Amino acid sequence: MSGVPATAARTPLSAAARLRKGKWYEQPRWRRLGALLALAVLMAQVTGEQGVRNDLFHALEQNFKGGGVGVWVGIAVAVWLIREFFDDAVARGVSRLRERAGGPARTVRATSGRLFGRRGYRWGALGALLLVLIVLPLTVTTFWQQVLVDQIGVYVMLAVGLNVVIGWAGMLDLGFIAFFAIGAYSSAYWTGGLPVEPPVELNNFLVIPVAVVTCLVAGVLLGAPTLRLRGDYLAIVTLGFHEIVYLVAKNYAEFTGGTRGANGLDRFSLDLGFWSYDWTLDPVPYYWIQLGFVVVIIVLFLRLEHSRVGRAWTAIREDEVAAAATGVNTVRFKLLAFAIGASTSGVAGVIYASKQAFVNPEQFVVLFSILALSYVVFGGMGSVPGVLVGTAFLVWLPQFLRDRVDPQDRYMYLGALLVIMMIYRPQGLLPSRRRQRELRMAGEGVSGADALGARPGGERG
């Protein structure tokens, strides 16, 4: 794999001369400068002005005239100079900092290890955490209560479900929000909110099992033909499925209410005879429902992770061929993961529809699938604590930055975040230990780390 042209074999002398000289811009040092400068120009555009209508070059002109590019180019050159000429000094400084920070970090790790390491302490700590989570919404403003329910609660649920598909079974599902939509529309349908009358009107709590079954069936119908094939087809098929669900919700107005959707849906209500409660506009009671479901789902999923099923997923992820050879029915377990993810998404959809009391197609665009995906990836695929923390953080961040960054740019930053995470920290913020090891081993060419078959540019499966 050398860069020497084929004629070199016949004229060794000239080839040797060419190797020695090389072109100046092919020297690594200048290449690095070029890359940094390109990055600087890109960064200037990323952080620059918004484009305006009827003036194509407005943003570009502003960015170049307004000095944005100059600043970034300056930073790039400075970084390059430091990296090329003061590398040793920087390395020394970093190692000294590490030593100094090592002490406190060790203390923190040891304390948390002691807290969560012993069984009694662990239950105590988890109980305290749960208690904090229960009281939390009472201590914040209404705005943050809404954020907690509409976004954090919903996305935590979605992310925990998506984590089963992508983190444990190692498949890429881009149609996750389609099942969320199916859940929400099931809620609307069975509570009599859609233009079509259901056979019986159900309470929202009873809709949940119905929605779970609906999403399971949809997931199996979609997954069965595709999962037998290469895993990466699943990504595109789910994406297509999502688009179809969206189009049906939008255009099949006789059933779904079309673009306007359906308003005034039933909210949750509970009537036990001796005691009844109706959920209203107040977000906090929904938060408690979500919290309850999330806790139950997490407990179930963690049990699953260490069961036969979970081990089968791990086996498939690490080496699909070997798993099949040892008798794991790979298609069935992949299908199971896919369907479990789908039904979790459906539950989240029911709760969401009931909280909002309306559904319309714009709540279920493809963007949200990508959002959920980036939350899981950021937190750490396959690690439940990672997913929880990652989701909560990434939902909180744009709300926090609302006044400082244009909200329209959110998806751009999320896309960049996905790419950067994949390049520098594919295991995520709080990785699961197993996943981290798999990724490292995959890098050494020992095993795979997903259920997608052969790896790009590598050997074939």
Nearest to 317 by CA among 433, 224, 453, 225: 453
Nearer to another protein, 115 or 235 (CB): 235
161/361 with CB nearer another protein: 361
Examine residue 59 and tell whether it contacts another protein (CB under 8 A).
yes
Residue 451 CB, shortest distance to another protein, in Å, is: 8
Query: Under DSSP, is residue 8 helix (H, G, I), strand (E, B) or coil?
Result: helix
Distances 166 to 42, 63, 216, 305, 383 between C-alpha atoms, Å = 31, 39, 17, 13, 11
Distance separating alpha carbons of residues 423 and 411, to the nearest angstrom: 18
Which one of the spans 104-112, 224-232, 321-329, 353-361 is the region binding another protein (CB under 8 A)?
Answer: 224-232
**DSSP label at residue 225:** H
Closer CB to another protein, residue 269 or residue 447? 447
- Smallest distance, another protein to C-beta of residue 335, A: 15
Among 41, 45, 64, 324, binds another protein (CB under 8 A): 45
Restricting to residues 115-174, name those near another protein by CB under 8 A.
Answer: 166, 170, 172, 174
Q: Could you say which of 53, 100, 119, 404 contacts another protein (CB under 8 A)?
A: 53
Alpha carbon of residue 172 to chain centroid: 11
CA distance linking residue 36 with residue 80, whole number of Å: 7
Does 240 engage in binding with another protein (CB under 8 A)? yes
Residue 459 engages another protein in binding (rule: CB under 8 A): yes
The stretch among 78-86, 261-269, 303-311, 371-379 that binds another protein (CB under 8 A) is: 371-379
Kindly state the smallest distance separating residue 381's Cβ from another protein, in Å.
Answer: 8
Region of 179-187, 288-296, 391-399, 435-443 interacting with another protein (CB under 8 A): 435-443
Which is nearer to another protein, 19 or 412 (by Cβ)? 412
3-state secondary structure labels for all residues of 324-365: HHCCCCHHHHHHHHHHHHHHHHHHHHHHHHHHHCCECHHHHC
Contacting another protein (CB under 8 A), which of 25, 57, 143, 275? 57
Nearest distance, CB of residue 316 and another protein, angstroms: 13
Sign of CA dihedral 375, 377, 379, 383: positive
Helix axes 308-318, 283-305, angle to 10 degrees: 70
**Other Cβ atoms closer than 10 A to 304:** 17
Q: Which of 6, 13, 200, 272 binds another protein (CB under 8 A)?
A: 6
Least spacing, CB of residue 297 vs another protein, in Å: 23
